[in-house]
Amino acid sequence: MIDFTVLMSIYKNENPNFFHRAMKSIWNEQILKPSQIVLVIDGPVPYELIDAIDVWRGVLNDVLLVVPLSVNVGLGQALNKGLKLCKYDIVARMDTDDISLPERFLKQVPLLDALGVDLVGSHISEFVGNENNTVSFRRVPLFHHDIACFAKKRSPVNHPSVVFRKSSVIDSGGYLHMLWLEDYYLWIRMLSTGKRFHNVDEVLVNMRGGTGLLSRRSGIKYAYSELKFINAIKKLGFISNFDFVKLFFMRVLPRFLPLGFFSLIYKYFLRR
């Protein structure tokens, strides 16, 4: 038996049915069940969500720790607050509208010790509407050297799929504010401080997608966040001046394109 915590954050716009499906996937359907689930409520939420959370309080009892925040602080800060309350050093991330495959934790959790790594991720599939309606996959490099090289142009792990060591994340500064890019920024800082990564060569998470996701990732606000991000990792020494220019054209400028064009670039270049 390996003790580990699942870390989640929920906010006001979550669909209670999606939340129930996510919880079933990490508890009812998992072969290896977590010893603790930390659920941060990021600001006020509707009564329907409170009722859904109360259902799982009754099912899980002491396994579920609910952490309500009085105001919405955003995903990164919410996860930091939850991370401090995780009892175990092994922590699995889970989004409240995604679906973990039944063997996910069984295949990921033991690898941290077996491979001597600090983080284990996996490929993910993306669905729209019905969970069997898979529309895309995001495959990532498997081995540490390839992951570190890939990180210079795109996020090398899928955030909803990761299992990491709490101590390694805290040692790297935790989730720092970087609008919509807190996870990618954390991976860069972990790699910069010598942390070791591995990705499982399987899809272990089915992620809920849709056109709204793309619309949130385009526009001047997201472009500014991308520019701030690539400037930050350049200051860390993770990328060169030449890499900075490449990333500017690859990650910043496409955010200004019409959504139709941006969706094509996202699908064939940014998403892969």
| Tens of pLDDT, residues 134-179 | 999 999 999 999 999 999 999 999 999 999 999 999 999 999 999 8
Residue found by looking up tokens 């889970």 in the block:
94
**Residue range 5-209, CATH number:** 3.90.550.10
pLDDT digits (tens, 9 = 90+) for 11-56: 999 999 999 999 999 999 999 999 999 999 999 999 999 999 999 9
Cα–Cα nearest to 188, from 222, 224, 151: 151
pLDDT of residue 212: 52
Which parts of the chain fold into alpha helices (H)? Answer: 16-26, 47-60, 75-84, 104-115, 144-150, 166-171, 182-192, 211-216, 220-235, 241-247, 259-265
Q: pTM surpassing 0.75? A: yes
Report in angstroms the alpha-carbon separations of 271 from 80, 117, 202, 203: 26, 25, 17, 15
Instruction: Reply yes or no on whether the pLDDT at 262 is more than 50.
Output: no
Domain boundaries, given as residue ranges, for the chain: 5-209, 215-270
Burial degree of 88 (CB within 10 A; 0-12, 13-18, 19+): middle
Render the burial of 89-99: b for 16+ CB within 10 Å, e for the rest: bbbbbbbbbbb
